Amino acid sequence: MPQQITNVFTRLFSAIREFTVAQRTLALIGLAGVIVALVALAMWATRPQMQPLYTDLAPADAAAIVDQLAANGVQYQLTNGGSTILVPSGQVYDQRLKVASSGISPSAEGGYSLLDNMGMTSSDFQQNVTYKRALEGEIAKTITAMNGIEVASVQLAMPEDTVFVSQSADPTASVFVKPKAGVTLADDQVAAITQFVSAAVEGMKVENVAVIDSDGQVLSAMGGSGTHGTNLKETQQYEQRIAASLQGMLDRILGNGMAVVSVTAELDFDATERVSESYDSNEDALPLTERETTEEYTGTGNAAGVLGPDNIAVPEGQTDGNYTNTSSERNNAVDKTTERIVTAPGTVRRQSVSVAVDQQAAATININDLQAMVTAAAGIDEERGDTVTVTRMAFDDTTAQAAAEALTAAEAEAAEAAQMEMYRNLGIAAIALVSIIALSIVAAARRRRNRMPQQVEQEALDLGEVELAPVPAYNAAAELEQLEFPEMPELPAAPDDKALRAEKKRQDVVTLADEDPKQMAEILNEWISTGGRS
């Protein structure tokens, strides 16, 4: 093994031997955590990637496919309540072919696939029943595909065809739905179900579809308009919109919480249609057709006279006469107006608005002016019977005061908690700073102790062995004789190896006592108990 690697391991083992018991425990726990993480990562990396083999399976089909996969020795997983089967991604298409070759056809349950097995000798009754079952299956599959629906079942009541139109009945449908866990069907979803079923069956009306959930609640009753609570929802939305508008206006005038608004509305959801025709002629317009006829007659003739007794005419003799007859016919242009008025559902039939204002806040406000403002803002129409009432009343402010006190107390607690948190953080920061300074001092002292043997070795050099540079004597001999040199101090003797080893052991003992006093105490107790022989 190379020397560098050996040195690394040596330093590592030396550092581990210097660990305390607590440090060794933490190191073992960390090493175990790393090993567990590596094992989990390896298991996750080697786990096969799963993909859906079939989804939205019936329980019978899922059981058959699971038996087939178990017989083939293929790993699988069941999800989505057992309706989805997952297999390794590399075996999806292979297993689909094997399932198809075994005769299992998950997608062939119900629906129009029932018509594939009908023979040529089937009777009309069998054909009608099979067609009704196929239609029920197709509708149920589509409803099941909606979000939030786990199971759906459809029952159709199809009347027999008859030649008597007056005796024909309308088809009806009953839909059973089971929502998924924790899901509640909204009114829009129920309306979508009824609309879909009525459109899928010829001649079926929306009001002839009943929807029932798994809890036995009627979501859509027979004979309804198909709105399924939409009317009530729209009424509530209208009331809330008007109340919010009035409340916002009053809050700006009186202040927040100084007025209470209540709106009750009655909406008309009946769709009506009215057709009216009116005729009008324009006198200045030219006629479409005009005809004038004149008859004239001139001559003599026998007059019939007057009737006498027994209805016998009494002649009066001959008379001469002229006859003229003029007639005119005119067809004038007539304007025809046809008006078709369709009233959409949702118009306001009647509404009532009640406003209560705080007596103190509205003391300086004219109540009649305030009522006029509310009337205009709410769109009150007296002709249709709308009413509006504005009243001054003394409000109960005990709850508001209690809420204000609670809010003040909560703010004070929050401020105190924030202050305590600040103090705690400052304490932690101070402790951390002191710890860092203490560690820095200990590290510096340790470095100084480690450098002491080197300094001792440097002081142990024999200065007598150092040769002085030669000085020229041609001009300095006389001067050197005249100079007085001070006495040189004696150099300390160099310590021997035994003294150095003793000093090193002493420094190690001091270092161990500083770093781990507990371990030092244990060593001293053991040394005393053995009589200093260890």
| 133 contacts 152 by C-beta, under 8 angstroms | no
**Number of domains the chain is built from:** 5
Tokens of 59: 């329980």
Q: Which residues contact 210 (CB under 8 A, 6 or more apart)?
A: 172, 173, 174, 175, 218, 220, 221, 222
Question: Which residues constitute the domain of residue 419?
Answer: 399-440
Where residue 397 falls among pLDDT bands split at 50, 70, 90? confident
Question: How far apart are alpha carbons 177 and 210 in whole angstroms?
Answer: 11
At residue 459, the pLDDT reads 46
Compute the mean pLDDT over every residue in the chain, rounded to the nearest whole number: 78
Question: Do 365 and 391 reside in the same domain of the chain?
Answer: yes
Question: Do 241 and 372 reside in the same domain of the chain?
Answer: yes
150-161: average pLDDT: 85
| 235 contacts 268 by C-beta, under 8 angstroms | no
Q: Is residue 360 part of a domain?
A: yes
Which of the residue ranges 322-326, 385-389, 394-398, 483-487 would you say has the lowest mean pLDDT? Answer: 483-487
Q: Provide the CATH number for the domain around residue 147.
A: 3.30.300.30
At residue 78, the pLDDT reads 87
Q: Is residue 469 part of a domain?
A: no
Q: Is residue 253 part of a domain?
A: yes
Please check the confidence at residue 40 and state whether its pLDDT lies above 50.
yes
Alpha helices in 212-280 (DSSP H): 230-254
Whole-model pTM? 0.40
Q: Is the dihedral of CA 476, 477, 482, 483 positive or negative?
A: positive
DSSP state for residue 327 in the 8-state scheme = E
Which of the residue ranges 16-30, 204-218, 410-424, 452-466 would you say has the lowest mean pLDDT? Answer: 452-466
Question: Do 156 and 218 reside in the same domain of the chain?
Answer: yes
Tokens of 218: 């009627």
Where residue 6 falls among pLDDT bands split at 50, 70, 90? confident
Question: Do 205 and 174 reside in the same domain of the chain?
Answer: yes
Q: Is residue 242 part of a domain?
A: yes
Question: Do 42 and 138 reside in the same domain of the chain?
Answer: no
439-471 burial by CB neighbour count: b if 16+ within 10 A, else e?
eeeeeeeeeebeeeeeeeeeeeeeeeeeeeeee
Please check the confidence at residue 60 and state whether its pLDDT lies above 60.
yes
Question: Do 379 and 240 reside in the same domain of the chain?
Answer: yes
Question: Do 189 and 255 reside in the same domain of the chain?
Answer: no
Q: Is residue 264 part of a domain?
A: yes
Question: Do 245 and 386 reside in the same domain of the chain?
Answer: yes
Most confident of the ranges 54-68, 226-240, 315-329, 470-484: 54-68
Question: Do 239 and 198 reside in the same domain of the chain?
Answer: no
Please check the confidence at residue 145 and state whether its pLDDT lies above 70.
yes
Q: Is residue 531 part of a domain?
A: no
Question: How far apart are alpha carbons 530 and 524 in whole angstroms?
Answer: 10
Question: Do 390 and 409 reside in the same domain of the chain?
Answer: no
Question: Do 238 and 386 reside in the same domain of the chain?
Answer: yes
84-89: average pLDDT: 87
Q: Is residue 423 part of a domain?
A: yes
Kind and range of the H or E element at 140?
A: helix 124-144
Q: Provide the CATH number for the domain around residue 81.
A: 3.30.70.1530
421-430, Cβ contacts within 8 angstroms, sequence gap of 24 or more: none
Q: At what angle do helices 367-378 and 230-254 cross, to 10 degrees?
A: 150
Question: Do 350 and 245 reside in the same domain of the chain?
Answer: yes
